[in-house]
Amino acid sequence: MTLVALVLLLASAAGQALPEPQSPASLARQLYLRVSTHSGRQPLELNLMGELRGIDPAEMESCTIRVDRFSVTPLEKRLEERVEHPCIAGTVPGIPTLPTFKRKLILQEPGDYVLRIVLQPRERPPIAGMTHEVKVYEAPVEIKIPEIRN
């Protein structure tokens, strides 16, 4: 009887010593991104705030904000441009990021944008977190008509 208890104790202790690696889906739920607005006229200035909850930044190769710009017609939504910005301006891949960050982006072109935080863990596939859709409207064009005097 005591042998069985000893085996169970060792098995449970071994299970505690080797934690299961987190799945990409569970890691993706720990990536938070907030944007200051979801629509406006061009150029649209966005303040982004991100948080990596329960993730060790030292284990990450890089952290980027992926910005996709789409053109939308009644028949399709077509990707026009994809740009990746570091989560923190001035950082380079291979240098750990911070668990929280703030970033300012300016969207120049009118269109529909999708912003997403993407983490690149060391020696693993990238993990994409929550997305935000942002719409940038074309700025109105001012036309001045000269007065005609009689």
Q: Where are the domains of the chain?
A: 22-137
Mean of pLDDT values over 88-108: 74
pLDDT digits (tens, 9 = 90+) for 35-87: 999 999 999 999 999 888 777 767 778 788 889 999 887 888 888 999 988 88
pLDDT at 17: 44
User: What DSSP state is assigned to residue 57?
Assistant: G
pTM: 0.67
pLDDT digits (tens, 9 = 90+) for 124-135: 888 888 889 999
**Exposure b/e, 66-101, CB count within 10 A at least 16 = b:** bbbbeeeeeeeeeeeeeeeebbbeebeeeeebeeeb
CATH homologous superfamily, domain 22-137:
Macroglobulin (MG2) domain (2.60.40.1930)
